[in-house]
Amino acid sequence: MSTAAHRRFDLRGLVLPLVLLALAEAAMRISHTESDTLARPSDVARALWEALRDGTVLVASAQTLGAALGGLALGGGLGLLAGLWFGLSTRAERWSLLSVELLRPVPSVALIPIAMLVYGFGFRMEIAVVAFTCFWPMMLLTQAALRQVEPRLFEVARVLGLGITERVSKIVLPAAAPRVFVAFRLGVGIALVVAVTVEIAANPQGLGFGLMSAQQNLRPDLMFALLLWVGALGWALSAGLLLIERHLFRHTRAQGGNP
Amino acid sequence: MVAQPRANLTVVQPVNVQPVTAAPLIVFDRVVLDFGPLRIINELSFTMKRGEFVCVIGPSGCGKTTLLRLLTGLVKPTGGEVRHNGSPVNGPAHDVAIVFQDYAKALLPWRTVAGNVSLALEAAKVPKAERADRIHALLAKVGLAAHAHKYPGQLSGGMQQRLQIARCLAQEPAVLLMDEPFGALDAMTRQTLQDEMLQLVAGSGTTVLFITHDLEEAIYLGDTVLALRAGPGERSSLAQRFDVHLPRPRDQLSTREEPEFLHLRRLAFEHVKDTR
């Protein structure tokens, strides 16, 4: 892992996109493009600025993020508990295996009609679909994290005479925490994708719906502006979580590098 | 078959808090252990006195590590009995501590140096108010007092192993089991740790069972060296027993030049060569 490259933002990476944007801008100005599907980069920037100024994009972002994080909290939280349970008890894992294998492959988007039927439009149906999607990776990755706890640590715990609750709270959970956090970070990304998808497909709120209405109102500039905004939002979330992860588990990582 | 002590060498017993009493602390009584169809240990009998330092050598796969696990109760013998203080070993006992070779895996990377020692005190239900002082004293013993707030990942290999030893000492063990504890360290660090460890156990009168593949290390440290054989078949796992009558405290230079040391070293090397 090239941690140095991650930590330091390399400005050279900006050259290519900026050159491409400048070329697109120049080409469209020279050819006088008037299109329902394309927009000049300068128009996109103006549309984004206006959407930010009148607050519509901020309200939509709050709706999307609210639903995404609400769904993640619900589904990810339950997934975490289920993962801990199945990870600690082989019996629970055996009994649940078939159900997990049957339910997990259901595409989350396929649940939109059912969620709509049950909850109608609004936050609740979006949260339900996001929660269902986030449940599985969180559960499976938590289970895997528990399996990967260094076996030597269990021996240490036994020789020291730690009880079962102390073994879980002082050895298993802290040892699994870094991997569980990675699962959470992945979950945030998944939650955002699914929330926007639900909004595009059905739910009349948030950034996904904004994208759809911009397209239907023949506003490619606003559409691209929102696309840019969603991308930036996702990038900022994942970068922020990565920073938190680095800070929380810096000692665990250092030890991982040792033979 | 036992190396006879030279008459001119005086036997100096280690300075013990508890005197070396006649009643054995640890008894291996015709212990047999099978892994599936494979016989790892056969008819192994030996005793350890209180305060005795016993080293175990032997080729890999001869059940050296298994011997330790039998004493911690992590593994149960197929036949025979392991007794500690007269009663059979059934499970981990609070006064039996084990130092693992892979210190990096045996330490909790998310806890500081002090936190790792604290784990043993927490397990022993030591009240929180007493812990800080005891942690400080233990870390001072192994020379880590200045590093209490560092994390294991920030320490060198030798320091990590010292930390593991401090955590084991926190259990105030009557028996200290060491599984090739210095095998992964460089020669200089190994010698330093050997002497520090000898001082620590001599000061507390701890009984030690020390596994190593280094014959010279075994002779340098031990009162007794047991040589095990791999694939014992019908024979006993205990191939040979050497009694070491070298004066204590031992010294890395002069002890290793003693005729007794060289004599034992020759015997041990010849034994290994013959059994290969």
Q: In Å, how far from its chain's centre is CA B113? A: 22
Rounded to a whole number of angstroms, the distance from the CA of B225 to the nearest CA of chain A is 25
Structure tokens that stand for A96 in this block? 């649940």
B82, B28 Cβ separation under 8 angstroms: yes
Most A CBs within 10 Å: which of B108, B167, B185, as the mutation test of the A interface?
B108
| Closest of A11, A255, A57, A221 to residue A153, by C-alpha | A255
Most B CBs within 10 Å: which of A149, A154, A159, A165, as the mutation test of the B interface?
A159
Question: Is A255–B104 a contact, with Cβ atoms under 8 angstroms apart?
Answer: yes
- Given this model, what pLDDT does residue B13 score? 46
Query: Could you tell me what percent of chain B has a pLDDT over 90?
Result: 64
Residues from chain A contacting residue B74 (CB–CB below 8 Å): 155, 158-159
Of all residues in chain A, the one with the smallest CA distance to B115 is A170
Structure tokens that stand for A84 in this block? 């801990």
As a whole number, the mean pLDDT across chain A is: 89
Question: How much is the average pLDDT of B260-266?
Answer: 93
Question: Does B219 touch chain A if contact means CB atoms closer than 8 Å?
Answer: no
pLDDT digits (tens, 9 = 90+) for A141-180: 999 999 999 999 999 998 998 988 999 999 999 999 999 9
Q: Is the confidence at residue A2, as pLDDT, over 70?
A: no
Question: How much is the average pLDDT of B158-164?
Answer: 94
As a whole number, the mean pLDDT across chain B is: 88
pLDDT digits (tens, 9 = 90+) for A235-250: 999 999 999 999 998 8
d(CA A3, CA A210): 37
Question: Does B153 touch chain A if contact means CB atoms closer than 8 Å?
Answer: yes
- Given this model, what pLDDT does residue B86 score? 87
pLDDT-derived band at B8 (thresholds 50, 70, 90) equals very low
Residue B42: DSSP 8-state = E
Q: Residue B213: CB partners within 8 Å, gap ≥ 6?
A: B57, B58, B60, B64, B180, B183
| Closest of A182, A186, A43, A64 to residue A129, by C-alpha | A64
pLDDT-derived band at A131 (thresholds 50, 70, 90) equals very high
- Given this model, what pLDDT does residue A253 score? 58
B187, B248 Cβ separation under 8 angstroms: no
Rounded to a whole number of angstroms, the distance from the CA of B82 to the nearest CA of chain A is 17
Q: Residue B102: CB partners within 8 Å, gap ≥ 6?
A: A152, B184
Q: Is the confidence at residue B274, as pLDDT, over 80?
A: no
Classify the complex by whether its ipTM is higher than 0.85, answering yes or no.
Answer: no
Class level of CATH domain A59-210: mainly alpha
pLDDT digits (tens, 9 = 90+) for A222-235: 999 999 999 999 99
Residues from chain A contacting residue B171 (CB–CB below 8 Å): 160
Stated as kind and residue range, the H or E segment containing B239 is strand B238-243
| Closest of B50, B160, B17, B19 to residue B99, by C-alpha | B160
